[in-house]
C-alpha cells in the first residue's frame, strides 16, 4: 500500500534532489519525447471520470503523475494506471516536481480559488501548465497566472474542451466567415440541476456560483457565435433554493452587446436543465442543441446538419494542446482566453451589485 510513510519518504527524497537538480538544468538536458508526461493535480470527478480515461486515448501525451492530499487515492491511482512512486506527490511536496523529468505538463484540476496558487507554482517549477475552467475567480488572478507562465517561459492552456470539438469549430467558422451575414442575435443557455449542497460550487470562498462555472459556457457560446468580444453586460441573479445558495447565485440571466451591434441573451443555472445556442443572422441562422455537452454536440443551419462524431473531447483537447507545445504553435485556448471570460464575469457581478445597471467592458 502507498502509505503516509511513503508520502513522507517521497518528500524527503524530493527535498534532497532539489539541492542538486535545479529544474533549469534538467530542462536543458532533457531529450525530446514522442509523448509528453502529464500530472493531474486534484483527483475529483473530472480528473477521475473524464481526464484520466481520456489520457488512455491520447497520442501525444500520457498520464505519468498525480498530486493528491489523500494517500488512499494515491494507492488506487498507482495500481490502476501503473504510476511510479516517484511521480506521486502531495500538496506539501508539490514544488519538488520541478526535479522530475518524467513530468512535462501539470494540469490543475482544483476548485477555482486554488487555480492561481498551483498554476504559479507549476510555472515556477518550469512545467508547461494546463488549467481547468473557470480560469480563476478574478481578473487579477488570471493576470497573475498569465504573468507567472510568461516569466518562467512556459505555456498556459485553459481547459475549454468545446473549442477543440469540430462541432463548435463549425459554428465558429460561420461567425468568422459571415456565412449568413452578420450575426444579429444570440440566445444561449447552459445549466443543469445540481443536487449537491456542500460542493465548491455552492461555496463563495472556493470560487463557487453559477457564473464562474456553467455561466462561462453560456458566455463562451455568445462570444464564439459572434466572433466578437462584448462591450457591455447587464445581468440579474435568481435562486429557488436560498437555503443552499446562501453565498452564491444559483441562476443568472445576462445580456451582452457586441461592437457590431449584435446582442446576446444568455441564461445559466444550477437549478434548470438547458443546453442550447441559436444565432440569428442577416441572411440565415445556425443553432446547436446541445452545444456544450461532454459528447454529442450537434446542430444545423440552412446548409444542413452540424454533426461531427468525436470519441473524446478531452482526448482531443489534450492532444491538440500538447501538439502545440511540441511544435511551438499557438494554443487554441491560452490563458488570455480564460481572462477574456472572467473580465465579462466581473462585469456581470458588478451589474447585479448595481441593481442590474449596464456595465461597459
**φ, ψ dihedrals at 179, nearest 5°:** -55, -40
Give every residue of the chain whose pLDDT is below 50, as ranges. 1-29
253 contacts: CB under 8 Å, gap ≥ 6:
235, 236, 238, 265, 266, 267, 268
Q: Which three cell numbers stand for residue 274?
A: 438547458
Q: Which helix (H) or strand (E) holds 25?
A: helix 23-29
Tell me the C-alpha distance between 136 and 269, whole Å: 19
Q: What is the pLDDT of residue 137?
A: 96
Q: What is the pLDDT of residue 192?
A: 97
Q: What is the pLDDT of residue 41?
A: 98
Q: DSSP 3-state assignment of 43?
A: coil
Q: What is the pLDDT of residue 30?
A: 57
CB 11 within 8 A of CB 93: yes
Q: Which three cell numbers stand for residue 295?
A: 459528447
Provide the β-strand partners of residue 279: 186, 286
Other beta carbons within 10 angstroms of residue 145's beta carbon come to 28
The label of the residue with cell 520541478 reads: 98
Q: How many CA atoms lie within 13 A of 189 on its CB side?
A: 14
Q: DSSP 3-state assignment of 185?
A: strand
CB 210 within 8 A of CB 251: yes
Q: What is the per-residue pLDDT across 241-268, written as a single tens digit (0 to 9) for each? A: 999 999 999 999 999 999 999 999 999 9
DSSP 94: G
Q: What is the pLDDT of residue 21?
A: 37
Q: Which helix (H) or strand (E) holds 341?
A: helix 335-353
Q: At what angle do helices 214-226 and 335-353 cross, to 10 degrees?
A: 110
Q: What is the per-residue pLDDT across 296-341, written as a single tens digit (0 to 9) for each? A: 999 999 999 999 999 999 999 999 999 999 999 999 999 999 999 9
Handedness of CA 47, 53, 54, 55 (dihedral sign): positive
Q: What is the pLDDT of residue 13?
A: 42
Q: Tell if the pTM clears 0.85, that is, is over it.
A: yes
DSSP 31: P
Tell me the C-alpha distance between 122 and 115, whole Å: 10
Point out the residues that are catalytic: 133, 217
The label of the residue with cell 450575426 reads: 183
Q: If you write DSSP's letter for every residue of 103-151 in order, what string do you get?
A: --EEEE-S-GGGHHHHHHHHHHTT-EEEEPSS--SSHHHHHHHHHHHHH
Q: Which helix (H) or strand (E) holds 232?
A: strand 232-238
Tell me the C-alpha distance between 356 and 254, whole Å: 9
Amino acid at each position: 500500500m502507498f502509505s503516509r510513510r511513503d508520502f513522507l519518504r517521497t518528500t524527503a527524497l524530493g527535498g534532497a534532489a532539489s539541492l542538486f537538480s535545479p529544474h533549469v538544468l534538467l530542462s536543458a538536458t532533457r531529450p525530446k519525447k514522442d509523448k509528453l508526461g502529464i500530472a493531474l493535480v486534484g483527483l475529483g470527478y473530472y480528473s477521475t471520470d473524464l481526464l484520466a480515461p481520456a489520457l488512455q486515448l491520447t497520442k501525444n501525451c500520457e498520464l505519468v503523475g498525480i498530486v493528491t492530499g489523500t494517500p488512499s487515492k494515491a494507492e488506487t491511482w498507482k495500481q490502476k494506471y501503473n504510476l511510479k512512486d516517484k511521480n506521486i506527490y502531495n500538496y506539501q511536496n508539490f514544488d519538488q516536481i520541478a526535479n522530475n523529468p518524467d513530468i512535462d505538463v501539470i494540469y490543475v484540476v482544483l476548485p477555482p480559488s486554488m487555480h492561481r496558487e498551483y498554476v504559479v507554482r507549476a510555472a515556477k517549477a518550469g512545467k508547461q501548465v494546463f488549467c481547468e475552467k473557470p480560469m480563476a475567480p478574478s481578473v487579477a488572478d488570471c493576470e497573475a497566472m498569465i504573468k507567472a507562465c510568461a516569466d518562467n517561459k512556459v505555456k498556459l492552456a485553459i481547459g475549454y474542451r468545446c473549442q477543440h470539438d469540430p462541432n463548435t469549430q463549425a459554428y465558429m467558422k460561420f461567425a468568422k466567415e459571415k456565412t449568413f451575414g452578420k450575426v444579429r442575435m444570440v440566445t444561449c443557455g447552459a445549466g443543469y440541476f445540481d443536487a449537491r449542497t456542500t460542493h465548491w460550487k455552492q461555496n463563495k470562498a472556493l470560487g463557487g456560483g453559477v457564473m464562474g462555472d456553467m455561466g462561462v459556457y453560456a458566455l463562451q457560446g455568445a462570444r464564439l457565435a459572434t466572433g466578437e468580444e462584448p462591450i457591455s453586460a447587464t445581468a440579474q441573479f435568481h435562486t429557488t433554493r436560498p437555503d443552499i445558495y446562501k453565498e452564491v447565485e444559483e441562476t443568472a440571466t445576462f445580456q451582452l452587446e457586441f461592437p457590431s451591434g449584435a446582442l446576446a441573451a444568455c441564461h445559466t443555472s444550477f437549478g434548470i436543465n438547458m443546453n442550447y445556442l441559436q444565432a440569428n443572422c442577416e441572411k440565415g441562422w445556425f443553432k446547436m442543441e446541445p452545444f456544450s455537452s461532454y459528447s454529442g454536440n450537434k446542430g444545423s443551419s440552412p446548409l444542413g446538419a452540424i454533426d461531427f462524431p468525436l470519441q473524446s473531447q478531452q482526448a482531443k483537447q489534450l492532444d491538440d494542446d500538447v501538439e502545440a507545445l511540441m511544435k511551438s504553435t499557438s494554443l487554441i485556448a491560452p490563458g488570455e482566453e480564460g481572462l477574456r471570460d472572467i473580465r465579462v464575469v466581473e462585469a456581470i457581478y458588478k451589474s447585479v451589485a448595481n441593481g442590474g445597471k449596464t456595465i461597459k467592458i
